[in-house]
Amino acid sequence: MNPGVRKFALTAHLTLSVGWIGAVVAYLALGIAAARSQDVEIVRAAWTGMELIGWYVIVPFALTSLLTGVLMALGTKWGLFRHYWVLFSFVLTLVATIVLVLHMRDVTSLADLAQRVEGATLEALGGDLLHAGLGLVVLLVVQALNMYKPAGITRYGWRQKQ
């Protein structure tokens, strides 16, 4: 990968990754509103917002962040399986993306349900805080790994180096 392309890919990857984290924080804010508000309209609007942010911001950011991350790894000296920090970042991002896409189908169901129910059932929907909170923790761990790049070469990486 030549320096110009690498710079562009890195810029895209950073933008998409940080955008993913920011979108999850926005999703969490709506989730807190859905969980805490006593106003039926606010709860319904929050669930609609969570569904839209999820499908049209978080999922695209997740997929493109994963894709640009793999391209960056394969196109630079780091490789995808040579360093533990890259390997862990890849696995965590892959798992987070799979769980996200599977979970978004439930979010759509819940957003749909929120428009039809009220009272105790609406309150029981909560705000999807556990999934979003755990997802945010995973993303922050990946971000820290990418910034600190802790030392550690895999057995495969060592063989490649010889």
Partner 1 sequence: MMKEPAHQDAWPRGRPRWVTVFGIVALVLVAVVAVFFLRGGEHGPGRHLPGGDGLESHAPPAEHRP
141 contact partners, CB below 8 Å, separation of at least 6: 92
Q: How far apart are CA 67 and CA 30, in angstroms?
A: 28
Residue numbers 118-137 binding partner 1 by CB under 8 A:
121, 124-126
Q: What three-state secondary structure class fits 162?
A: coil
- Shortest distance in whole angstroms from residue 139 CB to partner 1: 15
Q: Write the interaction track for partner 1 spanning residues 54-93; mark x where CB under 8 A is met and - where it is not.
A: -xx---------------------------x---x-----
Using rule CB under 8 A, residue 150 touches partner 1 = yes
75 or 145: CB nearest partner 1: 145
Between 1 and 110, CB nearer to partner 1: 110
* 128 and 31 Cβ atoms separated by less than 8 Å: yes
Among 7, 11, 36, 105, binds partner 1 (CB under 8 A): 105
CA distances from 144 to 9, 18, 64, 105, 158 (A): 19, 12, 19, 29, 24
Q: Is 4 helix (H, G, I), strand (E, B) or coil?
A: helix
By CB under 8 A, residue 147 contacts partner 1: no
Applying CB under 8 A, among 13, 51, 61, 100 the residue interacting with partner 1 is 51
Residues contributing to the site for partner 1 (CB under 8 A)? 51-52, 55-56, 84, 88, 104-106, 108-113, 121, 124-126, 150-153, 155, 158, 162
